Amino acid sequence: MEKFTLGSQLLQFFFTGLTVGSIYALVALGFNIIYNATEVINFAQGEFFMLGGLIAVSLSMTFGLPLPLGFVLSVGIVTLIGAVFERVAIYPLKRPSVLTLIMITIAASIIIQGIAMLVWGTDTYDLIPFSGRAAIRIGGAVIQPQYFWVLGLTIVVVIAFNLFFNRTTLGKAIAACADNPEAAWLVGINVKTMVLISFALSAGIGAIAGIVITPIALMEFDRGPLVAVKGFGAVVFGGLGSFTGAVVAGLLLGIIESLFAGFVHSGFKDAAALTILLLILFFRPSGLFGSIEITKIKKF
Amino acid sequence: MKTIQKSLICGLILCFLFIFNGPSLGAEKKPYKLGAIYSVTGGAALMGDPQKKTTEMLVDQINAAGGIDGHRLEVIIYDDESDDTKARLLTTKLMKTEEVLGLLGPCATGTSMAAVDIAQEYKCAMISMGASWMITTDPKTNKVRYWVFKIPLDDKGCVARIYEFLKYKGINKVATLTNTTAYGASGREALFAMAPDYGITILADEKFGPKDSDMTAQLTRIRVSGSQAIIGWTIGPTQTIIMRNWRDLGMTNIPFFQSFGFGNRKTIELAAGAAEGINTLVTPGSVSTLLPDTHVQKKVTMEYTLAYEKKYNDRVSIFGGSASDALRLFVDALKKVGEKHTSLEASRKAIRDHLENTKGFVGQHGVFNFSPQHHMGLTKDAYVMVVIKSGDFALAK
């Protein structure tokens, strides 16, 4: 029996934590895009994650499409669903209060779950891993290739994000809406369209997270809410509205959870992450990267 | 004119009354009403779905053959969504409002525990399909619950079988990997309580939540502990995830035993090969084709297997088997005492008494022998130890 050193264990927990944390980070990014554009917390974010996974499963396993095509199509379909959701449930409202919008997203979450149950039933579904199951051994830790896909795709998304919001006009326009919708409107930015694009983007990112994790953790119709809660935890932890915060907090949350489960007690791992969250909020209410002035100005 | 109109109207009214009440003036018998609470959705859906299908199939079969002594059988099936609170509310609804003669289910430990008080309150028999010994026995007083029965061998019995097998294989250091629901907690208690009797030491005590998606941390700790075997106690998707993690971490050289909550071929499919070599306990009903012709349950189990697989194009599981056994037990009671009483309380009591005295009843799970001290009618030898080979169950040696 090989000696399983402390270092190997640390590495094992670290990789698992990083993988789970990447999912939290992606979901948190999705929350932040919509929050920045509309000050709304979209509680249906977890459902985009779930839909991404299940649609990819149907496309690849039931219809037999090659995996890359299934991936792209699934992300596309869920992005469309995000856009439709915005047009149907958010756009028609005249000066809605933030509370109303939050209630609408919660209702949407329940409805989407119900539809998913009708379509896919209550069964658990599996997706073939992107590059096989041959485990990779690194310093005594055993790592699935799919973990690297999760990490890799997260890095790609984060880089694409940065480029989009800092280097493209569209990205800057959305950021402007987040800063000051009236001023943005005055300079000719169509705020309503920016909101639409935000929802679509957020849905797309959620879908990517869902698809890439399904080969590891499987997917079922009611997986959304738990992921949404953890992702939201990462959002608050990192500072509402901060993209960097979302990524850092998501990864940290995943790693803390994994290390706690690994070295202290597996039964309380959820409590560990949430306790840290509470502690951070006591000492730094705006989160790791949030700014206190902005927290005061924003309505929610 | 007026008198003719009046009498015409009276005549029409009489006709209507006769048409709509006519059948009851005749000799049509009152239908027998039973209730059923299954977790058709939620974490325990793997159990509730085949149970619902089995119940519906059997009810149709019975009614097509003329019912029970001419009485139509009606089973009202509710979905408790794997939620303990909902199970409790639905039990009250069935026993109080629908006035059922007996209750099938609930199907899981947590949901069953939520319903036992209601059964005692409304004095209506309930045949649970949950695992824990605490369903039929109050853990505080160690007394059997008067109105509650259950089908599956309880976790204590299953643990005894697994430990017996381990001892036979010369393994005495194990790790437990249990979920935090009532099912997992009860199983864990049984594992710890019975370990000393078989000379077993538990080196690692790992837990996880029913909706967790990654158990590599727990399995890594088990790896470190030096355990010779792992005993997993959970149902739902986590069953599959722990097997996949076990394989992905390269731990397949450590024997893995799953609780009887595994007993479903769908779980093997989902594991995508990770279930190869896993041991578990299943009912004789799930492996009817592997039983020798001389086996006392051969006929009953083959009948059910063939009918279910033909109708639903799906393999049988231990869960559908519990529903079959529970319904057939109630039908047997109704045949013997259903027509003897007219009041609801008397009927419910008579059915309960009959259940309690049923002996030698051949079902999917085993041969049931109930008594006032044993409301779970099976002994620990009822189930079969299998190993997963080539994607299906094979008898373990």
Model pLDDT, residue B22: 45
Report, as an integer, the average pLDDT of A174-201: 85
Task: Residue A164: give its domain's CATH number.
Answer: 1.10.3470
Task: Tell which wins on pLDDT, B267 or B225.
Answer: B225
pLDDT computed for residue A2 by the predictor: 47
A51-76 burial by CB neighbour count: b if 16+ within 10 A, else e?
Answer: bbbbbbbbbbeeeebebeebbebbbe
Across the interface, do B206 and A266 touch by the CB < 8 Å criterion? yes
Q: Output the average pLDDT for chain A.
A: 86
pLDDT at B64: 94
Residue A283: is its pLDDT beyond 50? yes
Average pLDDT, chain B: 88
Q: The domain B156-288+383-395: what is its CATH number?
A: 3.40.50.2300
pLDDT at B74: 94
Region A123-130: what's the mean pLDDT?
86
Q: Which of A151-165, A173-187, A193-207, B151-165 has the lowest mean pLDDT?
A: A173-187
Residues of B within 8 A of A217 (CB-CB) are 213-214, 241
Residue ranges of chain B whose CB lies within 8 Å of a chain A CB:
40-42, 45, 49, 180, 206-209, 211, 213-218, 220-221, 223-224, 226, 236-237, 240-241, 244, 247-250, 266, 270, 272
In the predicted structure, residue B185 carries a pLDDT above the cut 50 = yes
For the stretch A234-243, what's the b/e string if a residue is b when 16 or more beta carbons lie within 10 angstroms of its beta carbon?
bbbbbbbbbb
ipTM: 0.71
Q: Is B42 left (phi over 0), alpha (psi -120 to 50) or beta?
A: left
User: How far is it, in rounded angstroms, from Cα B9 to Cα A236?
Assistant: 75
| pLDDT greater at residue B4 or residue B66 | B66
Instruction: Suggest the residue from B49, B214, B239, B240 to mutate for an interface test with chain A (most A CBs closer than 10 A).
Output: B214
Check residue B26 and give its pLDDT: 44
Residue A92 has pLDDT above 90, yes or no: no
> Between residues 19 and 38 of chain A, which touch chain B (CB distance below 8 Å)?
19-20
Interval B321-344: pLDDT, tens: 999 999 999 999 999 998 888 889
Is residue A1 very low, low, confident or very high in pLDDT (cuts 50, 70, 90)?
Answer: very low
- What pLDDT, on a 0 to 100 scale, did the predictor assign at position A296? 56
B52 pLDDT tier (thresholds 50, 70, 90)? very high
Q: What is the largest CA-CA distance in chain A?
A: 70
Asked if residue B21 has pLDDT above 80, the reply is: no
User: Of A1, A135, A217, which has the smallest distance from its Cβ to B214's Cβ?
Assistant: A217
What are the E-state strand segments in chain A? Answer: 136-138, 141-143
Nearest to B349 by CA among B358, B360, B340, B362: B340
Give the whole-angstrom CA distance, residue A289 versus residue A245: 5
Chain A residues close to B249, C-beta within 8 Å: 135, 142
Residues of B within 8 A of A258 (CB-CB) are: 217
Contact A224/A49 with Cβ under 8 angstroms? yes
Looking at residues B206-223, what average pLDDT do you find? Answer: 86
What pLDDT, on a 0 to 100 scale, did the predictor assign at position A137? Answer: 84
- Quick one: DSSP state of residue B28? P
Q: How many domains, chain A?
A: 1
Q: CB of A126 within 8 Å of any CB in chain B?
A: yes
Residue in A closest to B216 by C-alpha:
A16
Q: How high is the pLDDT of residue B217?
A: 85
Domain of residue A76: give its range. Answer: 6-297
Q: How distant, in Å, are the alpha carbons of A103, A159, B139 from that of B37?
A: 31, 51, 24
pLDDT of residue B23: 47
Residue A300: pLDDT band by 50, 70, 90 thresholds?
A: very low
CA distance B180 to chain A (A): 8
Superfamily grouping for domain B32-153+298-368:
Response regulator (3.40.50.2300)
Element housing A201 (H / E):
helix A191-217
Chain B residue at shortest CA distance from A133: B248
* A284 belongs to a structural domain: yes
Residue B287 scores a pLDDT above 60? yes
d(CA A233, CA A228): 8
List of residues 6+ apart from B240 with CB closer than 8 A = A124, A218, B267, B270, B271, B274
User: Does any domain span residue A164?
Assistant: yes
What's the whole-number mean pLDDT along residues A162-167?
Answer: 85
Percent of chain A with pLDDT over 70: 94
The answer to whether residue A48 scores a pLDDT higher than 90 is yes
Rounded mean pLDDT, A249-274: 82
* Confidence (pLDDT) at A166: 83
Q: Domain limits of chain B?
A: 32-153+298-368, 156-288+383-395
Point out the residue among B45, B226, B241 whose CB comes nearest to the CB of A218.
Answer: B241
Q: What is the pLDDT of residues B80-104, one digit of tens each?
A: 998 999 999 999 999 999 999 999 9
Query: Looking at CA atoms only, how far is residue B214 from chain A in angstroms?
Result: 7
- Chain A positions touching B41 (Cβ under 8 A) are 117, 122
pLDDT at B218 over 70: yes
Reply yes or no on whether the pLDDT at A51 is more than 90. Answer: yes
Record the pTM: 0.75
User: Is 90 exceeded by the pLDDT of residue B235?
Assistant: no
Q: How far apart are CA B348 and CA B354, in angstroms?
A: 10
> Nearest CA to B388 among B210, B251, B266, B218?
B266
Report whether pLDDT(B195) > 50: yes
Task: Check residue B59 and give its pLDDT.
Answer: 96
**What pLDDT was estimated at residue B17?**
61
How would DSSP label each residue in B52-71? HHHHHHHHHHHHHTTTBTTB
Which residue's structure tokens are 């929350």?
A31
Confidence band (pLDDT; 50, 70, 90) for A176? confident
Helix (H, G, I), strand (E, B) or coil at B367: strand
